[in-house]
Amino acid sequence: MWVDSFRTAVSSLRGNWLRSTLTSLGVIIGIAAVIVMVSVGQGTQNEIDKMVSGLGANRLDISSGSSRSGGVRMGAGSRITLTDSDAKAIRQQIPEVAYIASGLRGNAQAVFAENNWSTSWQGLEADYFSINGWDIAHGAGFEDSDYKSGNKVVLIGETVRRELFGESEALGESIRIGKTPFQVVGILAEKGQGGFGQDQDDVVLIPLETARRRLANISVPGGVNQIALGVARAEHLPYVQEQVETLLRQQHKIQPGAEDDFSVRNIAEIIATRTETTRIMSLLLGAVASISLIVGGIGIMNIMLVSVTERIREIGLRMAVGAGPREIQRQFLTEAMLISVGGGIMGIVLGVGFSLLTEKIGALPVELNWKVIALAAICSMATGLFFGIYPARKASQLDPIDALRHQG
């Protein structure tokens, strides 16, 4: 029975192929739009996840206060207000802190032979690698003696390696940072773009004590402009942040109501905000694309109602020769399903194609999810079924005598 209905439906649609094609455009556009929008949204979400994973989700960043120059307030960290004693107090008095590392940072010119590159340097302690998720791709990390003795050794990021050495071997070579020569002992694993758009591989890492002696011009004994700390469990972050702020106010003897000379940044809050924003945008894009699918379904219902009106005598003749209401309903429902499923298949092809094209020439991250494509296929079938039921029922409920008397 379904085979006969299918053949009849195909024959009818071929007889009005232009109208059928135009009717399926709504479904084609709707399905393609859903796939493209969701793929771009998912790709953007994954890209953000990759970016912020390098920041470390369970961490707090403490920066020194800002200085003023000519009445202008400079950025955070421009005045040294943090010291090693602050980091020591946090480590001793807040047990929820799993890792903590003091640091200094700045910018300098890195030189090797005739090549030079302006980059940022960071003086750090051993826990910095655990907090930030840095890995060594080639060579070795710092030894304990490097941190204690201030040895002139350096780890360089992939961008710095490429700009200074090109295809040459970098390990064991000596580069000059500022006016000080350093030996390259390791190459950092690539991390790509950071959560705030910066190139995370454009960096050189040196032991903190070495940075104090060779690169940083600071007058505060044990001074640092940043402290990074990692917490074992994410749910402890708000409590740890509150404890850190209270402890540092005590350490710095800041009076109640006075402005803090430091700032604490919760990376998890930034990640959560960006993730939620992306999720809402993905839902919005998906909802807008779904409207096209609904419009396509309404188009199918409309054209099937027109088809029923045009073919009243045909319906009457089929009933007169023995076709029952079920057969009539099955035929028109099959036609609606064919229009919808055909449009769905074309929409999936176009959606996947446009998604890949968008990734290639549009510089947008795209993540094709086969579950979404399968859902789009199901939606196309459901659209034909849902919007085809009413016209099919209307056709099956016609009176055969009235249908035969109808003058088309």
One digit per residue, the tens of pLDDT, for the chain of length 408 reads 556 666 766 677 676 777 778 888 888 888 888 888 888 877 877 776 666 655 556 788 898 875 444 443 444 445 788 989 999 999 999 999 989 999 999 999 999 989 999 999 999 998 888 888 788 999 988 998 888 888 999 999 999 999 999 888 889 999 999 889 999 999 999 887 765 567 888 999 999 999 988 888 777 788 898 999 988 887 788 899 899 999 999 998 988 888 888 888 887 676 677 777 777 877 777 777 778 778 888 888 888 888 877 777 777 777 777 777 788 888 778 888 888 888 888 988 998 888 888 878 766 778 887 887 888 888 888 888 888 888 878 877 777 666 666 655
Judgement on whether residues 302 and 333 belong to the same structural domain of the protein: yes
Three-state SS for 296?
A: helix
Kindly state whether residues 31 and 143 are assigned to the same domain: no
Answer yes or no: do 206 and 278 share one domain.
no
Residues 128 and 157 in one domain: yes
Please list, residue by residue across 267-283, b when 16 or more beta carbons sit within 10 angstroms of its beta carbon and e when fewer do.
Answer: bbebbeebeeebeeebe
Q: Can you tell me whether residue 202 is helix, strand or coil?
A: coil
Cα–Cα distance, 335 to 6 (Å, whole number): 8
Q: Are residues 155 and 65 both part of a single domain? A: yes
- CA 119 to centroid of chain Cα atoms: 27
Residue 363 is predicted with a pLDDT of 67
Stated length of the chain: 408
* Residue 200 belongs to domain spanning: 59-232
In the listed set 181, 202, 232, which residue is the last one of a domain according to the structure? 232
Instruction: Tell me whether residue 266 is in a domain.
Output: no
Query: Could you tell me if 159 and 78 lie in one domain?
Result: yes
Specify if 252 maps to a domain: no
pLDDT at 75: 46
How many domains does the chain divide into?
A: 2
DSSP annotation of 255? P
- The verdict on residue 239 lying in a domain is no
∠ CA(75), CA(81), CA(87), 5° rounding?
115
Which residue reads 């509150």 in tokens? 242
| Long-range contact set of residues 9-14: C-beta below 8 Å, sequence gap at least 24 | 9/331, 9/334, 9/335, 9/338, 10/338, 12/307, 12/331, 12/335, 13/335, 13/338, 13/339
Final residue belonging to a domain, choices 215, 232, 249 = 232
**Same-domain check for residues 154 and 205:** yes
Residue 380 lies in a domain: yes
**Is residue 258 domain-resident?**
no
| pTM to 2 decimal places | 0.60
Q: Has residue 175 been placed in a domain?
A: yes
Nearest to 135 by CA among 12, 53, 78: 53
Q: Please indicate, yes or no, whether residues 90 and 167 belong to a single structural domain of this protein.
A: yes
Domain assignment present for 257:
no
Residues 31 and 102 in one domain: no
Q: Answer with the one of 232, 256, 284 that is the final residue of a domain.
A: 232
The number of beta carbons lying within 10 Å of the beta carbon of residue 165 is: 19
Tokens representing 43 are 């790709």
Asked if 224 and 316 sit in the same domain, the reply is: no
Q: Is residue 202 part of a domain?
A: yes
Q: Are residues 128 and 225 in the same domain?
A: yes
39 plus 145 within the same structural domain: no
Tokens of residue 342, six digits: 């055909």
